[in-house]
Amino acid sequence: MKPLKTTLTVLLLSLLSQACVYEDEFETSHGSSEKYDWNERYEKTPTPDSKLHLYLPTTPNAAPSPLILILPGGCYAYHAKDYEGTNWVPFVLKSGYAAAVLEYDLPWGNPDSPIDHVNRTISYLKNTSELNIDPEHIGIMGFSAGGHLASLISTQTDKDSRPAFQVLFYPITSMEDKHTNTFTHKVCRENLLGTSPSSSLKAKYSSYLNIDPNTPPAFIAVGNKDNTVSVENSYAYIDALNQNNIKNTIIIAPKGDHGYIEWSNLTNVRQTLRKWLTDQLSPEENQTIQKEAH
């Protein structure tokens, strides 16, 4: 087996590791709210799009800010905008990025509608000079169906419009039926593509099939006990990234399940992700470990 360009982290979720607090900044029982008064340095900024919630630095004349655009999950039927959206804003801000949460357009019969909305949003963030956002350092973060959408943006838009990096939590990356029909999430697929999509349509919206050398670096967090979205989605995506020599990091939680509640207190994940996000601001210093996957 040839070396892979994947940094692989396996979290051993013992009682000891769950009780360990590294930075004393996370609430231990409710959500991802951090003990960090980010309101002093950031403020919610009005935008022309009422579905875009933007948080920018308050410091005048500061250097342009890197930014992470957050796409909540919700099976393409609704938005889990709190626990997979605004609850992550303090973490993003503490990591040195401005933050944006988008309640993207739902498909309602048009699978390109959410993609178009995200693309318009990225264009707005890149090209509106008064926002003072660094256009070269706009990354995307998505959860579940939002992770699928983030992966589509990372693989199906033109090179100049793609994000600088992608962060995917328990993402869907396939619309196909494989591995005893557990590869895709059938309800999400139906909400996005309809009840009887063609093979070509399923392939088009299977992001793992559309990775190319212009795909941005990826950070993926997934649980081996996820009974909602098969971990095969993440493994297929990582394999395709490796085939195209795209740097990537995957965190596998052996006892991790799907959704926010099960991940809310995994400070190990946040520490690893924060270091990875810091590395994205200086990619030439970001050394990827080559490791055999088994």
Instruction: Write out pLDDT tens, residues 115-139.
Output: 999 999 999 999 999 999 999 999 9
CB-CB contact of 171 with 220 (8 Å): yes
Task: List, in sequence order, every residue forming a beta bridge with 98; answer none if it has no partner.
Answer: 67
pLDDT band at 268 (very low <50, low <70, confident <90, very high): confident
Q: Is 190 helix (H, G, I), strand (E, B) or coil?
A: helix
How far is Cα 155 from Cα 206, in angstroms, rounded to an integer? 10
CA atoms within 13 A on the CB side of 108: 5
The pLDDT score that the predictor gives to residue 40 is 55
* Cα separation, 175 vs 145, whole angstroms: 11
d(CA 60, CA 277): 24
Phi, psi of 142 (to 5 degrees): -140, 155
Percentage, residues of the chain above pLDDT 70: 77
Q: Tell me which of 187 and 85 has the higher pLDDT.
A: 85
The C-alpha atoms of residue 172 and residue 149 are separated, in whole angstroms, by: 9
The tokens for 207 are 């992001």
3-state SS class at 45 = strand
Distances (CA, A) of 248 to 5, 61, 69: 7, 34, 19
Q: Which of 271, 258, 193 is nearest to 228 (CA)?
A: 258
d(CA 99, CA 40): 15
Q: In 10 A of CB 247, how many CB atoms? A: 20
Beta bridge partners of 71: 142
Split at pLDDT 50, 70, 90, the class of 263 is low
- Model-level pTM greater than 0.95? no
Q: Assign 9 a pLDDT band (cuts: 50, 70, 90).
A: low
Tokens 């939002």 appear where?
146
